[in-house]
Each structure stands twice: as structure tokens, then as C-alpha cells.
Chain A
């Protein structure tokens, strides 16, 4: 199921915050993640999990080191190139659903496709298919305010998948849900991962959930250990 070329490669990746005192949130991280892998990142809070996510998600820039995504060095890219990568190659699921409140579930899922420049019809087809996939065929015209936490999170997952990204990033995607719903969402992610052979990287506090991943990355004080 996995081929050998890494889809993500970190070489001595370091992120330093200068906030009066120097603080290394990520310290010389080296890591290779292959296509189709389901990776869980665990570690105590402040260990650098989110920083790692944001760097891989191209939302933040490293202080030093190299980050290759799909074989391309993304650390030297312009805003336009990075936005383009975020749009086409990356999909995000956050702890809170972070849907656009003024748009319906369908429109939210269509949005990344519209940003990519796809036609409305095409975007609508894809979004409808994905919303069916996550079990929300009856809720497409509802706005986030009219949906439950679990439903919104499923819309967010559909949105993350809309541009068929190579990599899906989840920052505590089940952290804000009750255990039963959380398990359900997690199972959904795992199923989609197997179905579409996309790489999933999920930050979690939950050791039970982490144990179901292909690879577990532990972060302690900005240093990586892989299991």
C-alpha cells in the first residue's frame, strides 16, 4: 500500500521563538513519512506537536533546516506558491471545526475547490459526493450553527478532503468531541485513509487512538522519537 519515496521529509528542522528568551519548540527534527501512512503525533502540551503540524501544513516557517513536501523544498517558497500547495496538497482538520459561519455545509466543502479555480458545478459535484461519504447527505444546506459538534467535524473532514490532498493534517480532530463521537470521527479518518491512500498526520492526546496508527511519533521538548 505504501511506496518508498517519502511524501514528507524533515531535515534538521528547527523552530525557535525569540520571546525575550530563546525557546526551541522544535529541535533538529528529522523524519520521513511515506505515502498512505497514518501517523499519530503524541506528546505533552508544549512539546512542539502543534508547531510541527503548522510547519508541515505550511502555516508557519522554520528557523532553520529543510522541509520537503512531495520532493519540493517548501521553505524557500513565496506566499503564492505556499498558498497553492496548501490548497492542492494539504487538507486541514482542526480541533474546532473552523467552518465559515456564513456558508452552508455544502458551500464550506466547495470553498477549497473554488479557491483552486474549479467551476461551481464541478465543486458542487465533488462536495456532494464527499458529504455523502461522511454521512451528511441530509444536512448539506445547513449552516455550521445549525449542526452538532460531530456533524460539523465531519463537514470539516469533507472540506479537508475536497481537493484530494496528498496529505491530511488533523490537529486534535477529536479533542473537542465526546468519546463516542470522537471514536466515530477517528474511524472515519482511518477508513478514508485506507480508501484513498492519502497520508494522514494526526495530533492527539488520546493514547488509545494513537495506538491504532501506523506510526506513532513522540515529541518531548521539541525532540522526536519514532515508534
Chain B
């Protein structure tokens, strides 16, 4: 393999050129790995928060005209028997107004069984004051979104009036505050299932049944099977968030264009370096040909050079990219709240496979950029090359 020996010797004898070519590749690879970490961190975060903040499956009455689910106890029991289902929470949902002194706010009132709701939605994680379980023994207790409480100027322990046309105005005691970090905090209120049913004069029906499953990625399949068995309409979290996921897909496509451009720039850098090396080494190429080096071997000499530059660049680039990602991770860059689905810091995910991808494509780009200069070198006329 004298081709490799010549390639190595030539690459390392022009140190400045080599250094800059390696840096160009390294920079491209590190920028791309950091971007990949941001994108996959962001996607993970969105998926995780979709799974955590939404029920995995929401079951609604089948008919558009039918507003509520009858026999919800039986149906809930049926659903909770299904494989993969770990919790079921029937709810009564309704809109009403909350009044406290001179303040009034519209709310989205959720009537829940505290135990069931906790197992499906893990509400307690968002409770910042008081306790969801207080509802178990407080018939007219209510938990409010913290923003809602602030707007009404109520505190835990105060009593608020729930008002709805055709319903008897009922007084509820504020037993807790909830903070999810989303706009839901302005309108959400939790109360007991039976109290809300009574308030809306709808005893014995639920407006929805929410389900938690063991494996969120099985939610689609389980939702389908629930539909078949109960005749109700079941929507999985991924179906409910289809807009977010198509947004993520569009974003991923745009980012791929960026990767392509970055690699393109790095590729031209390598090609340019090699063209310069070929120009500087023209006479040596002629001599090598006179000594009996074939065109193929000359090509290999320069392809090896581009591979050496590329390999060094991608090793350096993945190291730099890793360091940059970890550094950005620990710095916890804050992003404006409510920009993206309640994310508070820029999520970065160190995904080893991303580094493999970035390095692999960098290597391919290097070989491709080496082909033109290498062919040019191989095709040089030895007579002209030597006499130059």
C-alpha cells in the first residue's frame, strides 16, 4: 500500500492546509451534531410532554348528537379489563363561571374521581398548593389553575361560587392550586365527579372516559380495540396531537436541508484543499507516473488524502460536538415560556446514533469531494506534469 504511504506523507507535509481542511470538516460535524441534539431533544420533550400532559386515550360518545356516555361505570370496567390499560377515569366536563367577590372568570370545570384521575393523569405532580386527595372527603371542594386563582384573587381556603344558567349556583371551597406551565392554568378547575354531575343536573352520565396505558406507543392499537368493543369514539394521544407531530416532521425536513448545505460547504472545503494539493504536487504526480504508478493508484493517493482529512475532521468534530452539546445542556439555556408547548429550557439530547450518522455522512461527503481532484490528478499528462 505505497499509495497510502504517499498520501500520509503528503498530507502531513503541508500542515496549514491540512489543519484548515480538518477544521472545516470538524466544524461542520460539530455544528450538525449540536443541531441534531437540539432537534431530538426537542422532539423527545414534545413527545414526553404530550404523553405526560394528555391522557393516552380519550373516549367520547360516538354520536355527535349524543353529548354524554351512559352506563359509564360498566364501560369503564370493561375498558379497565383490557390488556395494556392501567387506569381509567370517567369525567364530567362542563363550562361554567366562577365568581369570587367582584371577580368572575369562565372555567372549564372537570368533574373527576380523584383516585382515578390521579392514576390516569398524575395530577398531583402539578399541584403546587393543597392536595387533590382532599376532594375524596370534601364534597364541595375545588382545585384551580394558579393563574385562574390569581385572576380571581382567591387563595386556598376561600369559597368561590360556580354559576351556570339553569343550574343552582353552588359554593365550592378552594382546596388546592395547580400549575402546569401552560395556558390551561387560566381556565382549569377540578372538582368531584358527583358534585359536577349534580351541578349540571346530569347524574349517572360521563362526558368522557380517559385512559392510561402501559406503553404509550400501543395507544393507537388499544384505542382501536376499545372502539370496536364499546362502540364509543376513542382517540389516542398521537391522533389528538397530529398537528404537533406533522409540525415536527416539517421541521425535521427543513433541518435536513440545513445539514445538506453545511455538508456541502465542508465538502467544497475539502475539494478545494485537494485541488490545491494536486496543483502543488503536479510535478511529483508526473514523476510517480514515470516510475510506473498507474492512473488508478494516483487516484487512490488523493482519495486517501481526502479520507485522512475527513477522518481526522470527523473525529475532532464529534468530540467538539459532544463537548458543545454537554456544555449547552448544563448551561440550561432558557427559552421564552409558552413559545413551545410549555418548554422552559432548551432540551438537548445526547443521542449516540446521531454522532454515528453525522460522522458517516461527513465521511461520504469527503470521499465524494475527493473524487474530482483525484481524477484530475490521475488524468494529468505526465510529460506536461514533469516539465512544469
Contact = CB atoms under 8 A, between A and B. Distances in A.
A98 B292 CA distance: 15
A83 B294 contact: yes
Interface of B is mostly: helix
A103 B286 CA distance: 16
B292 A88 contact: yes
Interface residues of A, number: 28
A60 B381 CA distance: 8
**Interface size of B as a range:** 20 to 34
Contacts of B150: none
A51 B295 CA distance: 21
Given A115-B2, A115-B297, A57 B290 contact: yes
Contacts of B342: none
B292 A83 contact: yes
Contact of A83 (B10, B293, B386): B293
Interface in B286-325: 286-297
A80 B382 contact: no
B330 interface: no
Nearest to A60: B383
A103 B290 contact: no
B13 interface: yes
A146 to B, nearest CB: 15
Contacts of B375: none
Interface string A109-127: 0011011100000000000
Contacts of A4: none
B296 A92 contact: no
B13 A102 contact: yes
A79 B2 CA distance: 19
B284 interface: yes
A134 B44 CA distance: 72
A223 interface: no
A79 B292 CA distance: 10
A100 B383 CA distance: 17
B188 to A, nearest CB: 73
Interface in B1-27: 2, 5-6, 9-10, 13
Contacts of A85: 292
B75 interface: no
B290 A92 contact: yes
B383 to A, nearest CB: 5
B18 to A, nearest CB: 13
Contact of A102 (B9, B288, B296, B386): B9
Contacts of B173: none
B73 interface: no
Interface in A63-106: 79-80, 83-88, 90, 92, 94, 98-103
A98 B386 contact: yes
A54 interface: yes
B302 to A, nearest CB: 15
Interface in B35-60: none
Contacts of A147: none
Contacts of A83: 289, 292-295, 297
B215 to A, nearest CB: 60
B376 interface: no
Given A98-B283, A100-B284, A111-B2, A86 B290 contact: yes
A103 B9 contact: yes
A59 B2 contact: no
B230 to A, nearest CB: 76
A85 B294 CA distance: 10
A112 B287 contact: no
A115 B298 CA distance: 11
Given A111-B2, A115-B297, A59 B292 contact: no
A86 B289 contact: yes
Nearest to A163: B292
Interface in A182-200: none
A59 B291 contact: no
Contacts of A84: 292, 294
A115 B386 contact: no
Contacts of B386: 59, 94, 98
Nearest to B379: A79
A115 to B, nearest CB: 5
A112 B10 contact: no
A101 B296 CA distance: 22
B291 A111 contact: yes
Contacts of B295: 79-80, 83
Which 8 A-B pairs have CB atoms at the shortest separation, nearest pair first? A87-B292, A83-B294, A114-B2, A86-B292, A102-B9, A59-B382, A102-B13, A112-B291
Interface of B: 2, 5-6, 9-10, 13, 283-284, 286-297, 382-383, 386
28 contacts: A59-B290, A59-B383, A59-B386, A79-B294, A83-B289, A83-B292, A83-B295, A86-B289, A86-B291, A87-B291, A90-B292, A92-B290, A92-B291, A94-B287, A94-B386, A98-B283, A98-B287, A100-B6, A100-B284, A100-B287, A101-B284, A102-B13, A111-B2, A111-B288, A115-B2, A115-B288, A115-B293, A163-B292
